[in-house]
Amino acid sequence: MSEYLSPKIIDKQIEKLPKEIKFCKKCVVSNQRPRIYFDDEGICGACKFTHIKDQIDWEHRGKLLKEVCDQYRSNEGKFDVIVPASGGKDSARIAYELKYIYGMHPLTITWAPFEYTPIGYQNFRNFCKIGGFNNLQCWQNGKFHRKLARVAFEALGDAWQPFTYGQMCYAFHIAKAFDVPLVFFGENGEAEYSGDPRVFNEKGMPIHIWTEQYFKGATVNDVIDYGLKETDYFTQEDFDESDLTFYQPPKWNDLGAEFHWFSFYKKWIPQENYYLATEKTGFQANPEGRSEGTYSKYASLDDRNDGFHFYQAFMKFGIGRCTSDAAHEVRDGHITREEGIALVKRYDGEFPRMWYRDFLDYMDITEDHFWNVMDKFRTPHIWETGEDGLYKLKKSVYDNQKNLTYISSLPKESLKYWRVK
């Protein structure tokens, strides 16, 4: 079990963060979210896009979707659209509507999680059996995938990144193999959560900006190069070229199938996706009542490692899963900004205790090493030393700095790691 940790960071997003922290005046997100922009009045791009969404003629967009389906629908019983699907609420909506409303013949595909949660696997099975969908699931080379996750954890500050590579790329390999012309993903995160305004109103994501938008400025080859040069546990013997196939698109200049966002054609409201999924595909909410790090009962259910993706983002950007969920619901008009602020204070940055030991085992690291990585990615302009000697956010969307969940949720034996060295 290696304890060496290189100081090098290859997440290109961090160096671009503005040093002055500001919060949107309409929702609860900050300007530390990568690629976000604020206008001169202090309003984030996602809030501005919500106003645009309210002006969109969604009936017309629905007709455009019908035209796409009419153009590519198979009359020979062949698969005519690929839908990446976890069995969660969002992919359930896309697959259900394309099959049962628009008469398409979807092949759903699943890039397997690192480690399924019981409810995540149950929802995946329900999606196929109750929803009635064909599915191809890819299980990666587990030994390689596990080591790649650790390299990404140390290099990018996100062990989840290898999942993102496959989640985006695997679909287009299957589209090519089955000669399927369409791939439908769910929400355009750049628009729904605020990111690059160039793609707010695009039907799909151009491949030439994938690395910037989804891969933190680093392809799988960059992560591998880091592992070979900056670690003492990752070697050339851990993989060959065939193992890399599904972590990158078939070609970097041609996807071979059309990329479409479902949210371009249908107004995207996560809560409504949840209602449809429970009724049509047997989706079940979190039996614990909510997911750690947020108040939502239907988010981040699939993977035991998922909570650490959001926890490390909290270290880097000072905002976690609850901020994203609450900001979206403020924009949807489901809660007020004041209610969103209260939720952020209560849940954002909550330590993901449930699968902590599983995560350490999967990464093959000690608790000391875990917290050394956390400190490596604790962005200096976001954190400072509190009166009690513990790290605290320099600026937050809430004023009251007492009873902070991101400290009180820590296991007692881990509290020592929050003391400023």
Delimiting residues of CATH 3.40.50 domain(s) in the chain: 63-265
| Neighbouring C-beta atoms of residue 207, cutoff 10 Å | 16
Comparing C-alpha atoms, which of 302, 12, 29 is closest to residue 157?
12
Residue 129 has φ and ψ, to the nearest 5°, of -80, -45
In whole angstroms, give the CA distance from residue 190 to residue 193.
6
Q: Which CATH number fits domain 63-265: 1.10.287, 2.60.40, 3.40.50, 1.20.58?
A: 3.40.50
Going residue by residue through the chain (421 aa), what tens digit of pLDDT does each one get? 678 999 999 999 999 999 999 999 999 999 999 989 899 999 999 999 898 888 999 999 999 999 999 999 999 989 999 999 999 999 999 999 999 999 999 999 999 999 999 999 999 999 999 999 999 999 999 999 999 999 999 999 999 999 999 999 999 999 999 999 999 999 988 878 877 777 778 888 877 777 777 787 889 999 999 999 999 999 999 999 999 999 998 887 777 899 999 999 999 998 999 999 999 999 999 999 999 999 999 988 999 999 999 999 999 999 999 999 999 999 999 999 999 999 999 999 999 999 999 999 999 999 999 999 999 999 999 999 988 899 999 999 998 777 789 999 999 999 999 998 7
How many C-beta atoms surround the C-beta of residue 411 within 10 A? 11
The beta-strand segments (E) located in 85-151 are 106-111, 134-138
State pTM to two decimals: 0.94
Phi/psi of residue 250, each to 5°? -55, -40
d(CA 188, CA 366): 37
CB of 355 closer than 8 Å to CB of 361: no
Strands 81-84 and 134-138: unpaired
Angstrom distance (rounded) from CA 410 to CA 345: 15
Q: Residue 258 belongs to what H/E stretch?
A: strand 258-261
